[in-house]
Amino acid sequence: MRIAIGADHAGYPAKEPVKELLEAAGHEVVDLGAHTYDALDDYPDFAKVVAEYVAAENADRGVVLCGSGVGASVASNKVRGIRASVCHDTYSAHQGVEHDDMNILCMGVRIIGEELVKEIVDAFVSAEFSGEERHVRRMQKVFDMEANF
Local mean pLDDT, 10-residue blocks, the chain (149 residues) = 98 97 98 97 98 98 98 97 98 98 97 95 98 94 90
- Does the pTM surpass 0.85? The reply is yes
Provide the pLDDT for residue 1.
Answer: 98
Cα separation of 130 and 82, whole Å?
A: 18
Domain spans in the chain, listed from the N-terminal domain onward: 2-147
Contact 11, 67 (CB under 8 A): yes
Is 99 catalytic? The answer is: yes
Q: Which pLDDT score, from 0 to 100, does residue 75 have?
A: 98
Q: How far apart are the first and last CA of the chain?
A: 30
Q: Among residues 9, 27, 35, 66, which one is catalytic?
A: 66
Q: What is the pLDDT of residues 46-70, one digit of tens each?
A: 999 999 999 999 999 999 999 999 9
The pLDDT value recorded for residue 149 is 80
Encode pLDDT of 28-49 as tens digits. 999 999 999 999 999 999 999 9
Cross-strand partners of 108: 66
CA nearest 57: which of 126, 130, 2, 127?
2
Point out the catalytic residue in the list 27, 88, 99, 135.
Answer: 99
Considering the segment(s) 2-147 as one domain, its CATH architecture is 3-Layer(aba) Sandwich (3.40)
